[in-house]
Amino acid sequence: MSTEFGKGCHLHLIDGSAFIFRAYHALPPLTRKSDGLPIGAVAGFCNMLQRYVEGNTGPDAPTHVAVIFDHKGKTFRNDLYDLYKANRPPTPEDLRPQFPLTRDATRAFNIACKEVEGYEADDIMATLACQARDAGGRCTIISSDKDLMQLVGGGVEMLDAMKNKRIDRDGVIEKFGVGPERVVDVQALAGDSVDNVPGAPGIGIKTAALLINEYGDLESLLDRAAEIKQPKRRQTLIDNRAQIEMSKTLVQLDCEMQLDFTIGDLEVRDPEPEVLLGFLAEMEFRTLTKRMADQLGQEPPVITEPAAVAAAPIEAVPFDRDAYTCVTSAEELQPWIDRIQQRGWVAVDTETTGLDSMVVDLVGISLCIEPGEACYIPLTHRAAAADDLFGSDELAEGQMPLAIALEMLKPVLQDPAILKIGQNMKYDAKILHRYGVDIAPIDDTMLMSYALHGGLHNHGMDTLSDRYLDHTPIPIKPLLGAGKSAITFDKVPISDAVPYAAEDADITLRLWQLFKPKLHLSQVTTVYETLERPLIPVLATMEMHGIKVDRDTLSRMSNAFAQKMAGLEDEIHALAGRPFNVGSPKQLGEILFDEMGLEGGKKGKTGAYATGADILEDLAGTHDLPARVLDWRQLSKLKSTYTDALQDHINADTGRVHTSYLQTGANTGRMASSDPNLQNIPVRSEEGRRIREAFIAEPGNVLLSLDYSQIELRILAHVAGIDTLKQAFADGLDIHAMTASEMFGVSMDEMTPDIRRQAKAINFGVIYGISGFGLARNLRIPRAEAQGFINRYFERFPGIRTYMDATVEFAKEHGYVQTLFGRRIHTPEIAAKGPRAGFAKRAAINAPIQGTAADVIRRAMIRMPDAIAHLPARMLLQVHDELLFEVPEAAVEETIATAKSVMENAADPAVHLDVKLIVDAGRGANWAEAH
DNA sequence: GACATCACG
DNA sequence: GACGTACGTGATGTCC
């Protein structure tokens, strides 16, 4: 949303850095109780914002507001004078981690938050103040920094928030002895010891004002310096002319910065109570949370008291498999429960009869409270049978009844004051849910590692234990066996199960102790707490709902495909002159290139002929056989992967298919779906799309598909700051046609589908880290021509080049890139030599775009359950930029409106995108119709 | 278990 | 100047 700024409007600019430093020095070094994160400055900052917001009433209230921060690192003034601000004391160590939190705080108050690399906050405020004045509006700069006084006048004033004193033209004259327009002249002469601006030695503000008033301005003074009567003063000005002129450029603020936003974007917005209170509670500001809740008329969220601080250092306790306890009775379990309640947290792991959490049975539970102290509670292990062929239905000796164990553990597992720690908690949560336990609150070491180490390695327990605990866990293979003779965990003897299961909980607890403090050191606490952890229950619910799949439809299709394939196979064999396995690329290659002598060489390290679709398509013009093979392959894929395999995934109890989402599946922040993968159900080909007819809604319901339109290109337009693209999206243009029009000089009316198609390929190529070769292959055009397209694209949209170069540079410097929401994707290969460098570069360019899009839909998914709680709608699937719902017909319209709004506003308030997100909706009795 | 292929965003 | 290249996934069948 953005409104025009003009007459009658009033812009407030808050000097964020001044707020931070004042807050930091005004308060004792407070730390967050739960983890020791320093938060004193953030607390003071929030208090100041709260008081500011509270006092914003009456005729003087702002219509627009922003908090302006200094961007970290050097500014253009350092290029002018390398000693600029060189004698500033270094930033205190405990203040550093608080800088990003003050940005978070600002956004939590729903106030615009701006900073620009290479510039100081003062320049941004100067530019905005000038813009506000030129537009005929008012501007109040909330700061007492004298460097800003040059801006006063013509509707611009300053406000010293501490003294609640307005500074107008008279105030400036009082301070500098000259009007605002001559302040820089005085500063250039007087210098500034704080900012290390040299000025003229021996001349202070008083003398400077005297001189400027006498000679009119600095230039005249310097030109006529010889006329000065006092000899010392005269000599100083003559000797130091260059230094004085340089000082003026240092203190002169830049009123003409190019900003990627307008004042209109800074419109005052009310805080969203949920977001603001959530942030304050996360910071554990008890008093402020309450005060703010009162002010907003909301119930304050509960901030749990953290339990006593963690125990022995991790290295101090060696792993000891013999030290683990087997809990066999209620009497033995009770002391563990007592200790968990004292401690306030526990690592939990469940053992089950398999991997399909919708089907398998609970076999046992392990717990760990302190490193090295873990227990396993066997519950449904089977007794070894005499013949040992089929096992026994009898429970093994030495186990407490499942019902009793659950009855005792349930209060602990559901206790809001006890944190349950797990590795891949979604799995355990789903299992426990089937036994009537809704586990919460939780932490998940797998997701912590994903937030910390995304891109470096996978996040399975074995990997993490090896890497971070220097300990190889007991392998499961020897216990279960492999292949046909594999057994399920309930058949494992309890004596073998105890060390294995208890060790998993032990490892999980140790990883948690290690990762928890690392989260905020790496500044990914927010990612973990707002993008990862809250998604667990959302995904668990979606997976448990599943989607209805009609077996008969699939079965009919399968038969039809089989028939067609048989026909094609005969044709292919006839064309080849002999029968062969059409499904074997090796045999096909030999037929095509050796026996039939078609053009096209060997490829790949294995020496086999490449027979991919692109190659066969090229050959299809010369011969019928490759064309038939392409048809056959398409059918074969559809039949084996979809119509056949999908049927095996229909749950016998629910009649639905329950996929499993792997939250840590993709390095970019995307999720992966497996068993079955429901993120790659065919849609591009007409025949393939019919598979989706088998995905249906329950009677009386419809499937609802909501998908983001061009989300990655929109994000690219935002992050690379491409005004033409932003405008095109704002105008609702066909973005590929617009690109074509810009690049090829074709007007939109003269657009042909082919030109548009080429532009579309380029747009996608850009997102992927374009190369001439890649584009040439994709468009099947000469490489030089493709390179020409790319060059023209970069000429037309120079910001894209800049973005790409800057991203790669960032990756080289930091070893990671990040999304707009702070997710870090590590790029360990970025320094590699040879072709691997190319891969790493393109991945680094793509990751922030793909990752930001992934973060956006995650935020939407996390908010969705509450948003649609009043509706009979259920969220079923996520396909990267699409959410699929099942909803009774009567509630369709309201569900569309609600869910669409959640999705379109998902970036707010954490990130304000310059480009609106648009969501398209479709509905139908099945997925083919809905999409 | 590696490889090739192909389904999706 | 040459290198090989679109980004991110999962499932299937062949072949060793």
Report the pLDDT value the prediction gives residue A314, as an integer from 0 to 100: 47
Report the pLDDT value the prediction gives residue A364, as an integer from 0 to 100: 98
Q: Is the separation of the CB atoms in A570 and A644 below 8 Å?
A: no
Distance A854 CA to B9 C1' (A): 11
Query: Among residues A751, A901, A718, A574, which one has the least CA distance to residue A260?
Result: A718
Report the pLDDT value the prediction gives residue A482, as an integer from 0 to 100: 82
List, for residues A173-193, the tens digit of each pLDDT value. Answer: 988 989 999 999 999 999 887
Q: Is the separation of the CB atoms in A94 and A27 below 8 Å?
A: no
List, for residues A775-821, the tens digit of each pLDDT value. Answer: 999 999 999 999 999 999 999 999 999 999 999 999 999 999 999 99
pLDDT at A528 over 90: yes
List, for residues A419-437, the tens digit of each pLDDT value. Answer: 999 999 999 999 999 999 9
Distance A838 CA to C2 C1' (A): 14
Average pLDDT, integer, range A250-276: 92
Average pLDDT, integer, range A100-113: 93
Distance A677 CA to B2 C1' (A): 22
Between residue 565 and residue 594 of chain A, the positions with Cβ below 7 Å from nucleic chain C are 581, 583-584, 586-587
Distance A772 CA to C4 C1' (A): 12
Report the pLDDT value the prediction gives residue A388, as an integer from 0 to 100: 56
pLDDT at A484 over 90: no
Q: Is the CB of A81 under 7 A from strand C?
A: no
Report the pLDDT value the prediction gives residue A310, as an integer from 0 to 100: 44
What CA–CA distance (Å, rounded) separates A703 from A929? 8
Name the more confident of A881 and A22.
A881
Determine the nucleotide nearest to A634 by Cα–C1' distance.
B6
pLDDT at A90 over 80: no
pLDDT at A230 over 80: yes
What CA–CA distance (Å, rounded) separates A336 from A369? 9
What CA–CA distance (Å, rounded) separates A824 from A811? 10
Q: Give percent of chain A above pLDDT 90.
A: 75
Distance A780 CA to B3 C1' (A): 26
| C-alpha distances in Å from residue A838, one per residue of A205, A544, A742, A783 | 57, 41, 28, 17
Q: Is the separation of the CB atoms in A877 and A706 below 8 Å?
A: no
Mean pLDDT, rounded, of chain A: 92
Determine the nucleotide nearest to A691 by Cα–C1' distance.
B7
Q: Which nucleotides of C are covered by protein (CB under 7 A)?
A: 3-16
Q: Is the separation of the CB atoms in A445 and A467 below 8 Å?
A: no
Q: Is the CB of A668 under 7 A from strand C?
A: yes
Report the pLDDT value the prediction gives residue A134, as an integer from 0 to 100: 93
**Which residues have Cβ atoms closer than 7 angstroms to strand B?**
A 585, 589, 604-606, 608, 610-613, 616, 630, 633-634, 637-638, 641, 679-685, 688-689, 850, 879-882
Q: Is the CB of A342 under 7 A from strand C?
A: no
Q: Is the CB of A384 under 7 A from strand C?
A: no
Average pLDDT, integer, range A844-852: 95
Q: Exposure pattern of A743-752 as b/e (b: 16+ CB <10 Å)?
A: bbebeeeebe
Determine the nucleotide nearest to A768 by Cα–C1' distance.
C7
Distance A459 CA to B2 C1' (A): 23
Closest residue to B7 (CA to C1') is: A680
Q: Is the separation of the CB atoms in A161 and A53 below 8 Å?
A: no
Between residue 821 and residue 860 of chain A, the positions with Cβ below 7 Å from nucleic chain C are 834-835, 838-839, 842-843, 846-847, 850
pLDDT at A481 over 50: yes
What CA–CA distance (Å, rounded) separates A837 from A825? 16
Distance A731 CA to C2 C1' (A): 45
List, for residues A642-676, the tens digit of each pLDDT value. Answer: 999 999 999 999 999 999 999 999 999 999 999 99
List, for residues A349-380, the tens digit of each pLDDT value. Answer: 999 999 999 999 999 999 999 999 999 999 99
Distance A660 CA to C10 C1' (A): 12
C-beta neighbour count of A486 within 10 angstroms: 11
Q: Confidence class of residue A97 from pLDDT cuts 50, 70 and 90?
A: confident
Closest residue to C4 (CA to C1') is: A835
**CB-neighbour burial class of residue A916 (10 A; exposed 0-12, middle 13-18, buried 19+):** middle
What CA–CA distance (Å, rounded) separates A596 from A575? 10
Q: Confidence class of residue A832 from pLDDT cuts 50, 70 and 90?
A: confident
Average pLDDT, integer, range A311-330: 82
pLDDT at A44 over 60: yes
Determine the nucleotide nearest to A589 by Cα–C1' distance.
B4
Report the pLDDT value the prediction gives residue A308, as an integer from 0 to 100: 46
Average pLDDT, integer, range A379-399: 81
Distance A268 CA to C11 C1' (A): 51
Query: Among residues A209, A361, A269, which one has the least CA distance to residue A62?
Result: A269
Lowest mean pLDDT among A67-81, A198-212, A378-392, A686-700: A378-392
Q: Which nucleotides of B are covered by protein (CB under 7 A)?
A: 3-9
Closest residue to B4 (CA to C1') is: A585
C-beta neighbour count of A270 within 10 angstroms: 10
Report the pLDDT value the prediction gives residue A762, as an integer from 0 to 100: 94
Closest residue to B9 (CA to C1') is: A880
Average pLDDT, integer, range A201-220: 90
Q: Confidence class of residue A386 from pLDDT cuts 50, 70 and 90?
A: low
pTM of the model: 0.70
Distance A768 CA to C9 C1' (A): 15
Closest residue to C5 (CA to C1') is: A774
Name the more confident of A31 and A169.
A169
Torsion of CA A306, A310, A311, A317, to 10 degrees: 140
Q: Give percent of chain A above pLDDT 70.
A: 97
Average pLDDT, integer, range A561-587: 94
DSSP 8-state code for residue A484: G
pLDDT at A918 over 80: yes
DSSP 8-state code for residue A868: T
Report the pLDDT value the prediction gives residue A309, as an integer from 0 to 100: 43
**CB-neighbour burial class of residue A652 (10 A; exposed 0-12, middle 13-18, buried 19+):** exposed
Tokens of A109: 């108050």
Between residue 461 and residue 490 of chain A, the positions with Cβ below 7 Å from nucleic chain C are none
Determine the nucleotide nearest to A607 by Cα–C1' distance.
B3
List, for residues A705-736, the tens digit of each pLDDT value. Answer: 999 999 999 999 999 999 999 999 999 999 99
